[in-house]
Amino acid sequence: MDCLVTGGAGFIGSNLVRGLLDRGMTVRVLDNLSTGRAGNLADIRGRFEMVKGDIVSPANARKAVAGVKYVFHLAALPSVPRSVEDPVGSNEANTTGMLNMLTAARDAGVERFVFSSSSSVYGDAPELPKREDMLPAPLSPYAVQKLCGEYYCRIFHGLYGFKTFSLRYFNVYGPRQNPKSQYAAVIPIFIELLRSGKKPVIYGDGGQTRDFTFVADVVAANIACCSAPAKAAGKVFNVAVGNRISVNELAARLAEFTGRKIKPLYKPSRKGDVRDSLADVRLANKMLGWKAEVSVDEGLKRTVEWFMQS
C-alpha cells in the first residue's frame, strides 16, 4: 500500500485521496466519520481501501499504518470555536490521536509522515507576512494542539530520524467543504446563504484579512512531500497563496459569482479569531518545489460552480 490518509472522508482528505489516485498510487483511508462524510468518497468507492476507526485507539493506528510508505495525517476535530467550547475533547483527537499515528507510523517503518497543521499557530502577532521562523502565539486550544503536533514531528525527526513534514494551511476552501456544520468555514457558509437568498454573516467589521488557499494547491503540497529532498524533513512549511483579501471583499466576490447582490449581516467578533493572516511561502517554494497555482478569483469561481451543481 502506497499511502494512508487519515481523515480521508473529510473535506481536504477526500480531495487528497483523489489526487493520490489520479497519480496512480494505492490508498487506504482511516476515518471514524465523526466529521468526515462517506458521501465525499462515494463516486470513487472501490478504488481505495476504507478502514473505519478512531485515531485515539493505538490499535487502530497500528492496523492502519501496516505496510504503508507514506502517511498523510489529516484526521482531527477541526475548528477554533469547537476547541474553545470543548478543549479536552478536541485535545484527545488533535494531540493524543496525532501522537498515536506518529508513533505507529515510526514503528511500522513508514518512509514519510506528512502532518496537517494550521496557520492558527501564529496567533495575532501584527507582523506580516507570517514566516515559519516566527515565534508561535496560539490564541485557541486548537492552535495549541496543532503546534504540539508540529513539535512532536520535529522531535521524532531529531530523535529517531523519522522523515516528518508539517504543513501550516492558510484558510483552505474548495469543493466538498461542508457548509452544514455549526463549525463550518466561511466560504461554504457564505455560498449556501447567498444561494438561499439570505444574508451572509460576518463576525466583526469584515476588515479582517485571510490568505485563502484553494484545496487543489493543498493537495499538491502534501504530495510534494513524498519526493522532497531529505533535508526538508523535520521542518514546518506554510501552505498558502501568499496574498490576502478581507472578509468584506470575499463576501462581495461571492455575491458577484453567485449572482446574488445581498449585503452581509454583521455580528460581534468571536473568541480566538485572529485579525490578519498572510503567509510567506518562500520556504515551501525552495525546499518542497511547491507553489500555489490557483488564484483566489479562480478558486472561488470553481468552488461556487461546484456548490451550484451539487
- Three cell numbers written together for 294: 490557483
* Residue at grid coordinates 451572509: 200
The answer to whether residue 263 is domain-embedded is no
Task: Report the percent of the chain where pLDDT is more than 70.
Answer: 99
Rounded to two decimals, the pTM is 0.95
- Per the CB < 8 A criterion, the answer to whether 138 and 98 are in contact is no
Other Cβ atoms within 10 Å of 91 Cβ, number: 18
- Per the CB < 8 A criterion, the answer to whether 123 and 67 are in contact is no
The answer to whether residue 287 is domain-embedded is yes
The answer to whether residue 269 is domain-embedded is no
Residue 236: pLDDT band (50, 70, 90) is very high
The answer to whether residue 134 is domain-embedded is yes
Angstrom distance (rounded) from CA 283 to CA 134? 13
Q: Among 70, 122, 142, 169, which one carries the catalytic annotation?
A: 142
* Residues ≥6 apart with Cβ < 8 Å to 5: 13, 16, 17, 20, 27, 28, 29, 30, 72, 74
The answer to whether residue 82 is domain-embedded is yes
The answer to whether residue 251 is domain-embedded is no
Task: Report the percent of the chain where pLDDT is more than 90.
Answer: 90
Of 48, 163, 149, residue with least CA distance to 101: 149
Could you report the per-residue pLDDT of 205-220, keeping only the tens digit for each? Answer: 999 999 999 999 999 9
The answer to whether residue 218 is domain-embedded is yes
Could you report the per-residue pLDDT of 23-78, keeping only the tens digit for each? Answer: 999 999 999 999 999 999 999 999 999 999 999 999 999 999 999 999 999 999 98
CATH value at residue 117: 3.40.50.720
Angstrom distance (rounded) from CA 30 to CA 98? 13
Secondary structure of the chain in HEC code, one letter for each residue:
CCEEEECCCCHHHHHHHHHHHHCCCCEEEEECCCCCCHHHHHHHCCCCEEEECCCCCHHHHHHHHCCCCEEEECCCCCCHHHHHHCHHHHHHHHHHHHHHHHHHHHHCCCCEEEEEEEHHHHCCCCCCCECCCCCCCCCCHHHHHHHHHHHHHHHHHHHHCCEEEEEEECCEECCCCCCCCCCCCHHHHHHHHHHCCCCCEEECCCCCEECCEEHHHHHHHHHHHHHCCHHHCCEEEEECCCCCEEHHHHHHHHHHHHCCCCCCEEECCCCCCCCECCECCHHHHHHCCCCCCCCHHHHHHHHHHHHHHC
Note the pLDDT of residue 273: 78
The answer to whether residue 137 is domain-embedded is yes
Note the pLDDT of residue 183: 61
Work out the average pLDDT over 170-175.
96
Give the CA dihedral 219, 178, 251, 292, nearest 10 degrees. Answer: 0
Catalytic residue flag (residue 142): yes
* Residue at grid coordinates 499504518: 65
Domain that holds residue 221: 3-173+213-240+279-293
Chain center to CA of 6? 12
* Structural domains in the chain (count): 1
Work out the average pLDDT over 4-11.
98
